[in-house]
Amino acid sequence: MKKFRRYSRMFLGESGATFLEYAMLCALVGIAVAIAVAAFGKQLKDLFNTMSGKVQDVNSQMKGK
């Protein structure tokens, strides 16, 4: 029962409102990231693959010297 009272005070007080605001902000950021990845996923994959290939090419050239 003590835990319930402590949690109810936390959620009913100002700290509970702050917690809820941060939780909503995190949820919105997560949704925005998910939408961005869904919209640009293939382009991001292609970009990372291109950059990876370039890094491997430079690495191969440096080993050859």
Condensed to tens digits (0 to 9), the pLDDT of residues 19-48 reads 889 999 999 999 999 999 999 989 999 999
Give pLDDT, residue 55: 95
Neighbouring residues of 37: CB distance < 8 A, sequence distance ≥ 6: 44
d(CA 36, CA 23): 20
pLDDT bracket for residue 8 (50, 70, 90):
low
Predicted TM-score of the model (pTM): 0.50
Give pLDDT, residue 63: 85
Domain count across the chain: 1
- Show the domain range for 21: 2-64
Burial of 30 by CB count in 10 Å (0-12 exposed, 13-18 middle, 19+ buried)?
Answer: exposed
**Which among 21, 43, 24, 20 has a CA at the least distance from the CA of 32?**
24
Position 37, amino acid? V
